[in-house]
Structure 1
Amino acid sequence: MDFGLTTLASLDLSGTKLESSLSRGLWNLTSLQRLDFSSDQLNGSLSDELFYLNNLISLNLGWNQFGGFLEGIWNWSSLTSLDLSANNFTTFLPSQLSTLTALISLDLGSNYFRGSIPSSIANISNLQYLRLSYNIFLSSSLPSEVFTLKDLITLAASSNHLNGPIPSTVGNCNKLEILLLHDNALSGSIPSSLGSCTKLKELSLYENPLSGSIPSNLGKLSSLEHLDVSHNKLTGTLPESLW
């Protein structure tokens, strides 16, 4: 497929069930700002020639069959939304993610990423939505630096193999509305600093070996609509502040 529309700013071919790999002619569309190939049947690796699309603001390649390594995208200084969810990426999460400093939304969920979550992700200071669920973060703790993202609204890192404690720095995220950490191997206590996340609407911590008692100051979360701490190793009594 060749593209001759060199002034094209937006291209949406999602849900068309296109097969094979991305066309090399695509890289001639250097004016593109928004590109959506989600929910097709594309496969192969992401070409280094993606680098030429350096005016992109939004890239959605979710729900395809891409794999291999992530290369060629680290100089996209204008990119605000990146969705690579539900593909077959098996590499480590690269520290170069931190160079995408304009990102507001990042979805890498439902892949086979392994290793640890790079602490340098905290350099994406404008990040509001971060989804890393359903990957294979083996022997990895949740880096405390993630919770220095002051604009973070949603953090979904469920159904991985995250271990260690939930960092107390979570209380720094006073804009946080959704925190999904269920189905991991997180241990230690539920941090009382969660009581500072006063905009929290959904808190899901089930299926972890968390211990200790439920912090009483969770009762201060007047916006909370969903709380699930089932299937943990919690002890003590339910705080009256929850009623």
Structure 2
Amino acid sequence: MDQHLSFLCLFLSLFLQFPFNFSWNSLTFLDLGSNLLEGSLPSSLCNLSNLEYLLLSGNSMTGPIPHCFSNISSQLKVLDLRKNGFHGKIPTNFPEGNQLRNLGLNGNKLEGPIPKSLKNCKKLEVLDIGHNQISDTFPMWLESLPELSVLILASNQLHGTIGISETKSPFLKLRIFDISYNHFTGSLPAEMIKNFQAMKRVDNNNQTQAKYMGDGSYYDDSVTLMMKGLEIEIKRVLTIFTTIDLSGNEFDGKIPNSIGDLNSLKVLNFSRNRLIGVIPSTFGDLSQLESLDLSWNQLAGKIPVELGKLNFLSALNLSENQLEGRIPTGGQFNTFQNISFIGNKGLCGFPLKDCGGFNHSNSPESWKHHHKDLLDLMSGFTWKSVLFGYCFGTILGLSIGVVMFATRKPKWFVSLVEDMCIRSKTTRRGSIRLHQFNTYRKKWKHDM
């Protein structure tokens, strides 16, 4: 009885605000989100036969979800139970011909498999069951849902490989695909991804068709995603927003070139997997890309210069791979910090070390090594060695000069020195005449 106390009080307050002849069966919209509701869901809510929107997100409710909630999906369009503490299994008996458009169960403690009766939800656009404890393989049978636009399965215990599609046009309208932080293995689902037609820009007029997801009346769809390294709640999702997040799994193999066909993609995250090979140059065709994260893999080779064409790319993370060569310059590459490239020992160029060997980074460790190398170079030079070399060179030079002038050999060198002496003395002492110098020279020769 205590579990339903908060609901009872709330219903009483609502009842007092309506005329006494109000019929609860006529209620179509109930929004109790972001309150302090506790306890379990009363199954009596299933008696509201005309209810189309039930919004209870952002509370502290617990207990299982009554199985009758799948039965009322015959008229229910939106069931938003996100960010609560519900546990148990997802209701399993969604009937054929139901009207469910948005099922939001993100941020609970639900477990068990994904109910296959969801394939009966032909009008389902948003399926968000991320951040639970669901254990299952990838629900490939969801590919046949003609209106599915958002599929979020992130942070669960899903596992296994993702098989090849058996449908001619799988996930035809999918624009947000997030299966991050599960236990998926095998190669990336290239065959499935290349058929994401909604992530391909058919023509340039698509930009003018942008609108918010939802039915345009009572409720706007919202999702929580990882973008540019931050968890962001998008309260109103534009229909042109597209993202693929496969991070935090155990995918291996190479990145398929076909990813470059998704030219309306905004966010792409393949980080923290076991990917090998090179970064496809076809990534340069992702003209609308704003965020790219390939960090913590085993990618090798050079960074494609084609990435410099991505004018909207504001977040790039290629760190902790095995990339090598010079970092491309120009375009957005001039704006990225060294954190975008660290952990790749073979990379050089701005903002890391110069490819010529001098380290331009402001890292104190790099300056420490540079200073140590300089000290090692100078340690062999002392004032004693310098003084000894100076004295020895001076004595040797004077001795050679005396011998050369005594023997008058080589003649060309003696003539050259004499000529230089004449010009130097003429410049410094203009009062000495040339014939006096010649007389002095003849006398010096006679004495020798």
Which category of TM-score, normalised to the shorter sequence, fits these structures? over 0.9
Task: Judge which range, 209-218 or 112-121, deviates more.
Answer: 112-121
Q: Name 1:38's counterpart in structure 2.
A: 82
Aligned partners of 2:71 and 2:93 also within 8 Å = no
Distance in 1 of aligned mates of 2:103 and 2:328:
45
- Report the number of matched residues: 242
Contact 1:148–1:172, Cα closer than 8 Å, also in 2: no
> How do residues 1-243 of structure 1 correspond to structure 2 at under 5 angstroms?
1=42, 2-3=44-45, 4-29=47-72, 30-51=74-95, 54-71=98-115, 72-120=117-165, 123-138=170-185, 140-145=186-191, 146-152=193-199, 153-241=242-330, 242-243=333-334
Bigger fraction of residues in helix? 2
2: distance between equivalents of 1:56 and 1:92? 23
Which one is further off, 150-159 or 194-203?
150-159
Distance in structure 2 (CA, Å) of the matches to 1:163 and 1:175: 25
Bigger CA drift: 43-52 or 85-94?
43-52
- The structure whose Rg is larger is 2
Distance 2:96 2:105 in 1: 17
Gaps of 5+ in 1: none
How far off is 1:52 after superposition?
6.0
On the 8 A contact 1:39/1:62 being kept in 2, the answer is: yes
Contact 2:67 2:92 in 1 (8 A): no
Cα shift at 1:101: 2.4
Contact 1:207-1:231 within 8 A present in 2 as well? yes
Identity of aligned residues (%): 32
Displacement of 1:27: 3.5
Is the 2:156–2:182 contact (alpha carbons within 8 Å) kept by the matching residues of 1? yes
Describe the superposition over 1:74-111 as per-residue Cα deviations: whole angstroms up to 9, x where unpaired.
Answer: 11110000000001111111221212221111100000
Q: Are 1:176 and 1:199, in contact at CA under 8 Å, matched by a contact in 2?
A: yes
> TM-score, normalising length from structure 2?
0.52
Tell me which of the two structures has the higher relative contact order, counting C-alpha pairs closer than 8 angstroms and 6 or more residues apart: 1
Counterpart CA distance in 2 for 1:52 and 1:7 is: 18
* TM-score, normalisation: structure 1: 0.94
Provide the rounded CA distance (Å) in 1 between the counterparts of 2:143 and 2:155.
21
Structure 2: where are the runs of 5+ without partners? 1-41, 200-241, 335-448
